Amino acid sequence: MSGQGIGQILVYAFVLIALAYSLGTYMAKLYNAERFGFGWLQAVERGFYRLLGSGSKEQDWKAYGKSVLIFSLLFSAVVYVIQRIQGHLFLNPDHLKGVPSHIALNTTASFVTNTNWQYYGGEYTMSYLTQIAALATQQFVSAGVGMAVLVAVVRGLARRSARDVGNFWRDLYRSIVYVLLPLSLILAVVLISQGVPQTFSGQVTATTLEGATQTIARGPVALMIAIKQLGTNGGGFFNSNSAVPFENPNGLTNLLELLSILLIPAAQVFMFGRMVLARRHAWVVFAAMFTLFVAGLAVAVPAEQHGSTVLRQSGVNITQGHGQSGGNMSDKEVRFGIANTSLWATATTDASNGSVDGGHDALTPAGGAVPLINIFVGEVIFGGVGSGLYGMIFYILIAVFVAGLMVGRTPEYLGKKIEAREIKYAAVGALFVPTLALALTALAIVTKSGLASVFNPGAHGFTEALYAYTSQTNNNGSAFAGYGATNFSAELGAVAMYLGRFVPLLAALAIGGSLAAKKTVPPSAGTFRTDGATFGVLLVGVIVLTAGLMVFPALTLGPIVEGLSH
């Protein structure tokens, strides 16, 4: 691995931490403030609540969850209908027909749940209207929903003897209007200045100098790419996502898009620390996430640089030097090389983003196992916007519980007693999704309709199926490629995404509600401290053990067999 590659990764880490810290401080103020912004901004916000007719009165966790569910399900209907009837609607310069029903269903589930799994190629399936009004809208909204729910859970941890956890509409509004929208607009402007298209004109046909014809697809791309990255969505405008120059033209845009993947999830850890008045504890959680992130990089980057056995024995020169990057460059953009592609693959699967700037299917077995394991730990290594940290709270509670068992005391967290009820919710939150992923993978490889989706034989084909359902249940959306859309896989995927999103979401809200009602007890000599290195190590251990035990048998059948058999 080159010094340049290491340098790029270090710069990335420093800039990320600095930006995330500032944004986290800002978000803590944003959600705590009774009124936010100046004059007319406040008026617009008040006007929005009045328009909704719901007011911004506080809700308990059940009412909050009900608003989330009703809003998300009704919005699903709109996203589905727009796709189906796009052929008759405006902003369709390339005259694309309505999206087939199973693809539309899967795509709806995918964007409403912040997954952005794509069983379609954007430029030849979705009209401009569908891209911006159905899909990109959902990229703002689903991210906003995740952020709102996290804030409600965090309030539950912060409050004492309270019933309510906040107002969904208020948290949603503030997440979108004061965080996602401004950041996206800034990023979009930079992307446009670097050559990402933003136009309503249709595709053009070019006759190249050699005389061949070439279709150049374009469209209102830049703003969608900005929110795709910032909202941990990942669903690109074009089929090849951020590997396409029109989504990601150069090194600068690659760095900015990479930073955007982890920015908000990382910032939320600092926001959490300020809102629960436990900033040291937040740093410990951040350190645990960062450690797992670096561990992924430490495997993926050298693995790609080293190449696979097949590649090394093939006679291809993969030595680094003389202007050559060396290593496994299959399905990688030469513009970005090994360090940047592996960094992206690690970050995008840590963060439940799922965008790619290279093909994951052609990663080496070890390099490809990293994204898979990252997704399997439940998207808590920073994770999705909102969902990452509330997912981490499940693991934190389990860690606190384990520590309590070891010292024989009722576990406490942030001054609150953790009892059977919270642990049950945390166990559901942490274990439901990996269990679902394994069950659906099993279903997909033992049924005939499931096997129709697998393109490659043997262990690699199994990895593709495992990746597909792991990615969808965890709401990541990155694809290994080589897994096909059939009616069966599209519908099963939709079920996977809805359950994978809303079951943990409700479990997290329930924890928030349950903890809000509790009194805080002052720490005593026997209290297990959650703001030191011991807790950090325990937390990483719990995550690795819980997720590792779930994923290891499946990994054995996939990447491990593949790695050993060549």
Partner 1 sequence: MALRDVRASVIAIVVATLVLGLGFPALATGFAQLAFSHKADGSLVKVDGKIVGSSRRSCRRP
Nearer to partner 1, 136 or 157 (CB): 136
Residue 98 C-beta: closest distance to partner 1, Å = 18
Q: State the Cα–Cα distance between residues 371 and 376, nearest whole angstrom.
A: 8
223 binds partner 1 (CB under 8 A): yes
Residues 6+ positions from 123 with CB-CB distance below 8 Å? 203, 217, 219, 237, 238, 239
Question: Of these, 21, 26, 36, 71, which contacts partner 1 (CB under 8 A)?
Answer: 71
Question: Of these, 15, 17, 96, 181, which contacts partner 1 (CB under 8 A)?
Answer: 181
Residue 545 C-beta: closest distance to partner 1, Å = 40
CB atoms within 10 A of CB 133: 18
Among residues 472, 524, 521, the alpha carbon closest in space to that of 493 is found at: 472
Lay out the site mask for partner 1 across 456-495 (x = CB under 8 A, - = otherwise): ----------------------------------------
Nearer to partner 1, 90 or 552 (CB): 90
Residues 24 and 283 sit within 8 Å (Cβ to Cβ): no
Nearer to partner 1, 137 or 268 (CB): 137
Q: Which of residues 332-351 bind partner 1 (CB under 8 A)?
A: 335
Residues 509 and 64 sit within 8 Å (Cβ to Cβ): yes
Residue 186 C-beta: closest distance to partner 1, Å = 11
CB atoms within 10 A of CB 440: 25
β-strand pairing of 164-166 with 59-60 = antiparallel
Q: Which of residues 248-287 bind partner 1 (CB under 8 A)?
A: 249-251
Residue 49 C-beta: closest distance to partner 1, Å = 9
How many binding residues for partner 1 (CB under 8 A)? 56
Residues 364 and 377 sit within 8 Å (Cβ to Cβ): no
**Which tokens is 13 given?**
């880490």
66 binds partner 1 (CB under 8 A): yes
80 binds partner 1 (CB under 8 A): no
Q: Tell me the one-letter amino acid at 312.
A: R
Question: Of these, 137, 233, 353, 441, which contacts partner 1 (CB under 8 A)?
Answer: 137
| Distance (Å) of CA 213 to CA 45, 204, 249, 442, 481 | 51, 10, 22, 45, 27
42 binds partner 1 (CB under 8 A): no
313 binds partner 1 (CB under 8 A): no
Q: Tell me the one-letter amino acid at 470.
A: T
Question: Of these, 74, 420, 446, 525, which contacts partner 1 (CB under 8 A)?
Answer: 74
CB atoms within 10 A of CB 313: 10
| Distance (Å) of CA 36 to CA 20, 166, 174 | 20, 15, 9
Residues that bind partner 1 (CB under 8 A): 48, 51-54, 63, 66-67, 70-71, 74-75, 78, 132-134, 136-137, 140-141, 169, 172, 176, 181, 185, 188-189, 192-201, 204-209, 214, 216, 218, 220, 222-224, 245-246, 249-251, 335
